[in-house]
Amino acid sequence: MKKATKTASLALLALSLLSQPALAASNDPSLADQRTSALNYLHDNLQKSSYKYTVGWASVALYDAGESVTSPKWSNADGTNGVIYRESEVRRNVNLSDATTDFESTLLGLLSANQNPRAFGKKDFIQAILSSQRADGKFADTIYGEGEDLLNAHIYGIIALYSAGVSIPNADQARDYLLSKQHADGGFNWAAGDHSNPDVTAFALIAMKALGLDASNPAVQKALNFLKNVQNTSGGFSNEGTDNPDSATTVLQALVAYGIDPKSYSKSGHDLFDFLNSFRTANGGFSYTLGGDANAISTQFVLMAYSDLLNGKTVFQKLHDENVAKSSTWTQAFPDLPFTHPYYADNMKLANLGVMAGHTDGTYGTGEPVTREQFAKILVSGAHLDDEVGAPTTQFTDVDNGWANPYIAVALKHKFVYGTSNTTYNPLGEITGAEVMAILVRMLGSHYEQEAQSRPKTDWYDGYVAVAKEHHLLYPNFNVNAPATRAEVGYSFVRLYDEQLKAQ
């Protein structure tokens, strides 16, 4: 009988949520005034850093409020702005790790700044997220496709692709994976097995909406019920025990996504707006802690939430509506590496990771042979050994002190490569298919190299090629003697990553 009563109360709650007048709070004239004040505060704050940090959540908030980060208002007198600064960083792999969340948050920022996310800084942010998806539908923790510890990469992956107007691959599996992480109380958290968190639950609701789940879906009802239950008597929400506006605004955005009036969420006579107003500062910003100074991040989140209310839709829905058609017009990062190239995804993964880069003329050099010095750089960067690059080698008489020398030194140290003799390396020599496979087998581990050496052979490379074939490292139309092209090396190097993941 108790179970039936609980079920009935849940149903009544769901009906009450669905029957609320949609977004009545958006009629409050003070929201527009507060949004203007928040924009003024953000302008002053971002101006202090010469608008360098506008591409990210800041550009999402500004776009939601109808602003353009490339307009004179958000640019310096010389025309420089956050887009120019961020593109310079991306080209240099600065503030962009292999974490999928880095690519997801940057993608949202680029979409909001009206940039082409498939060619920004010679990287493809859409492809990076697509390539991270695992067989079970989860967007992995890294763009290698590795890691399933954190749920935020999955949630943001769904939201970011939806915002880009791009179809979510394996959408049913992506949905099922997300719902499998819902806790018994209806909430979610970033890490599996942890207690439920209102911020994560709100983002999960936004992701569920992007996947097509409406307010009548049982999982959606459970998540909304969780938020209703954990609302504080102040009208707000807490993250890890701390009352803060960021949690409240994320919940507010989730309610907007489902057309639920935020004023219907109240405790002890206080609603979300009462709570947020208590964090408002004299300069128009919002503090993270009650009574504290204005905080740019918290102000951005309030700005987004209030803009969502005034727009009658979330910023993610707004981006989606604009990009559904626009996404088909985005061009590729390299003119000689089109989306239709059979090795596009593999080579862009390496470009996204900073392992391979294009030429100064803007091309990728898709069909060009790879030299032995170029391959040393690919090996070192691909093995995450860039931190070891430093002292040059003096072993080889034909290797000068140019850019390649320190990379050759590191590759030698780890026994990935050897010289063509005790005193020569042949840095400008074109690396053959056989040499590529021998080196990749060595990178798999000493056990695999020993296995290759123990195989019957006529030529020195036979054992290496046999082991490489068993581990799917050979590129199509592989030829032991022909020079390997940049595109072919990219194909095989990504297969090496796949094999290394399997071995973990």
pLDDT of residue 23: 52
Q: Is a pLDDT exceeding 90 seen at residue 260? A: yes
Inter-axis angle of helices 218-230 and 198-210, nearest 10: 150
Q: Rounded distance, CA 501 to CA 504, Å? A: 5
User: In degrees rounded to 5, what are phi and psi of residue 191?
Assistant: -105, 135
Same domain, 282 and 366: no
Give the confidence band of 2 by pLDDT, cuts at 50, 70, 90.
Answer: very low
pLDDT of the residue at 9: 36
Q: Is residue 335 domain-resident?
A: no
Q: Calculate the CA 435 to chain-centre distance.
A: 34
Q: How many CA atoms lie within 13 A of 484 on its CB side?
A: 28
Only one residue has tokens 């309030």, namely: 302
Boundary residue ending a domain (288, 304, 329) = 329
The pLDDT value recorded for residue 22 is 44
Longest dimension (CA), the chain: 87
- The tokens describing 81, both together, are 């702005």
329, 364, 383 — which closes off a domain? Answer: 329
Nearest-Å Rg of the Cα atoms of the chain is 26
Confidence of residue 63 (pLDDT cuts 50, 70, 90): very high
Query: In this structure, is residue 102 part of a structural domain?
Result: yes
- The verdict on 352 and 263 lying in the same domain is no
**352: buried, middle or exposed (CB in 10 Å: 19+, 13-18, 0-12)?**
buried
DSSP structural state of residue 117: T
Confidence (pLDDT) at 252: 98
Q: 3-state DSSP helix/strand/coil percent for the chain, to nearest 5?
A: 50, 5, 40
| Cα four-point dihedral sign 483, 487, 493, 499 | negative
Task: With CA atoms as reference, report the closest residue to 67 among 31, 42, 33, 103.
Answer: 42
The answer to whether 298 and 306 have CB atoms below 8 angstroms apart is: no
Tokens found for residue 64: 């939601």
Task: In whole angstroms, give the CA distance from residue 31 to residue 21.
Answer: 18
Position 131 confidence tier, pLDDT thresholds 50, 70, 90: very high
Q: 39 and 118, same structural domain?
A: yes
Q: pLDDT by residue (tens digit) across 421-471?
A: 999 999 999 999 999 999 999 999 999 999 999 999 999 999 999 999 999
pLDDT of 177 above 80: yes
Give the pairing type, strands 242-243 and 238-239. antiparallel
User: 49 and 118: one domain?
Assistant: yes
Distance CA 190, CA 204 (A): 10
Integer angstrom CA distances of residue 345 from 92, 128, 229, 277: 21, 9, 45, 47
Note the pLDDT of residue 280.
97
Instruction: Identify any residues that bridge with 238 across adjacent strands, giving them in sequence order.
Output: 243
User: Residue 26 gets which letter from DSSP?
Assistant: G
Q: Are 315 and 418 in the same domain?
A: no
Does 289 share its domain with 406?
no
Alpha helices in 164-289 (DSSP H): 171-180, 198-210, 218-230, 245-257, 272-277
Angle, CA of 409, 410 and 413, to the nearest 5°: 90
234/266 same-domain check: yes
CA separation for the pair 453, 459 (Å, rounded): 11
For residues 125 and 139, give the distance between their C-alpha atoms in angstroms, rounded to a whole number.
14
* Pair 356, 325 in one domain: no
Does 339 fall in a domain? no
Question: According to DSSP H, which parts of 139-244 are helical?
Answer: 152-163, 171-180, 198-210, 218-230
Cα distance between residue 241 and residue 471, in whole Å: 49
Distance from C-alpha of 247 to C-alpha of 268, rounded to nearest angstrom: 19
CATH code of 211's domain: 1.50.10.20
What tens digit of pLDDT does each residue of 87-103 get? 999 999 999 999 999 99
Q: Say if 414 falls within a structural domain.
A: yes
Among 28, 46, 23, residue whose Cα is nearest residue 285: 46
CA angle 133, 352, 430 (to 5 degrees): 120
* 392 and 434 both lie in a single domain: yes
Token readout for 381 is 């960067």
Q: Which residues contact 110 (CB under 8 A, 6 or more apart)?
A: 55, 59, 116, 117, 120, 125
Give per-residue pLDDT as tens, 323-341. Answer: 999 999 999 999 999 999 9
Q: What is the mean pLDDT of residues 272-294?
A: 96
Q: What is the mean pLDDT of the chain?
A: 93
Q: Is the pLDDT of residue 18 over 80?
A: no
pLDDT digits over 382-408, tens only?
999 999 999 999 999 999 999 999 999
- Answer yes or no: is 152 within a domain: yes
Asked whether residue 317 falls in the same domain as residue 357, the answer is no
What average pLDDT does this structure show over 153-181? 97
> Could you tell me which residues come within 8 angstroms of residue 385 by beta carbon, excluding any fewer than 6 positions away?
410, 414
> Of 329, 361, 392, at which residue does a domain stop?
329
- Whether residue 338 is contained in a domain is answered as no
Question: Is residue 186 in some structural domain?
Answer: yes
Q: Report whether pLDDT(194) > 90.
A: no
Structural domain span for residue 59:
2-329
Residues 66 and 134 in one domain: yes
Instruction: Check residue 138 and give its pLDDT.
Output: 97
Query: Residue 457: its pLDDT value, please?
Result: 93
**Distance between CA atoms of residues 139 and 62, nearest Å:** 27
Cβ-contact 267, 275 below 8 angstroms: no
405-431 pLDDT per residue, tens: 999 999 999 999 999 999 999 999 999
Residue 10 has pLDDT above 60, yes or no: no
Buried b (16+ CB within 10 A) or exposed e, 205-219: bbbbbbbebebebeb
What integer pLDDT is reported at residue 11 of this predicted model? 36
* Range with lowest mean pLDDT among 6-10, 202-206, 236-240, 343-347: 6-10
pLDDT exceeds 50 at position 36: yes
Residue 337 lies in a domain: no
Q: What is the amino acid identity at position 136?
A: D
| CA 181 to centroid of chain Cα atoms | 20
Q: Which residues contact 85 (CB under 8 A, 6 or more apart)?
A: 51, 52, 53, 55
**pLDDT for residue 85 is more than 60:** yes
Domain count, the chain: 2
Whether residue 247 sits in one domain with residue 325: yes
Give, as one character, the DSSP assignment of residue 301.
Answer: H
